[in-house]
Amino acid sequence: MTKYSQAILSLLIALSTCIVSGQQSGINSVINDLNEPVIYGEVLSHHFQAAGSQFFIDGWSEGNIYHENGGVSRNKMLQYNGYKDQLYWLNPSTADIVIVDKLLVSKFTLRMPLTHDTVTFKRIEPGTKNDYGPDGIFAQVLAEGEYSLYAMRKIENTGERNIVQNERRVTLPVLEPRPVYIIRCPGNLYHRLQRIRRQNFINLMPEIGNELRVALQERRNRVRSEEDLIEAVLIANQLKKDTI
């Protein structure tokens, strides 16, 4: 076989591979599209102005939405509004900000801008519908196990502030983060921690109360901060596991 005919043969093989690869890539693209769940919700049409941020993270973060039906929307631009307990999605097709239908969401993740850690929010229904609305609430997952710890990243109106805007004096509500910690105990029982105190925490787990008290004392954990609380829940889970 001459070099010329070898080259022709190689070209033919390359072309046929191109066609096959192209077709496969087309099929893969259709498969991905078919399995991409649709995100829907109301287009945000009015913006709430306040002093202080309404958002868990200012600006858009990349994250995933895990749908109730099992589908996953990956790498979306998301924002969590703690004042309204709403998840916003920046729709790249229309540039609209969409308030994602809460019933659509099982959980979502957000990538923290500085640390690049991923935080997860879950839709939970921790009490009666009167307490938390018909669709449940989004709460950040801090620890999960036999006992789980969630933080509702609530942003509350704590007062009013007058500012001058466009040469006009306007009164704006002052917003500040006021996280609420929720503990889920075995049997799907949710307890809201009124104040972060060691005794309050131990009272929620009477079946391992004594061991938990000793363990927390040994670690000098007074359960006064979010980090203490996370550690305490991890200890409680370990103790529960040991007793089983």
| Interface residues toward other proteins, by CB under 8 A | 3-4, 6-7, 10-11, 13-15, 17-18, 21-28, 30-35, 38-43, 45-46, 67-71, 91, 93-94, 96, 98, 101, 103-104
Closest distance between other proteins and the C-beta of residue 84, in Å?
13
User: Which is closer to other proteins, CB of 31 or CB of 214?
Assistant: 31
For residue 73, what are the CA distances in angstroms to 48, 88, 144? 27, 13, 23
Total Cβ atoms within 10 A of residue 61: 20
User: From the CB of 95, what's the least distance to other proteins, in Å?
Assistant: 10
What φ, ψ does residue 243 adopt, rounded to 5°?
Answer: -70, -30
Q: Which is closer to other proteins, CB of 28 or CB of 217?
A: 28
Which of residues 22 and 186 has its CB atom nearest to other proteins in the complex? 22
Nearer to other proteins, 54 or 237 (CB): 54
- Closest by CA position to 82, among listed 149, 174, 179: 179
Q: C-beta of 80: minimal distance to other proteins in Å?
A: 17
139 vs 137: CA distance, rounded Å: 6
Angle at 174 between CA 169 and CA 176, to 5 degrees: 160
SS3 call for 144: coil
Least Å distance, CB 148 to other proteins, is 25
Supply the minimum distance, in Å, between the C-beta of residue 19 and other proteins.
9
d(CA 14, CA 34): 30
Residues 6+ apart with CB under 8 A from 161: 51, 171, 172, 173, 174
73 vs 140 by CB, closer to other proteins = 73
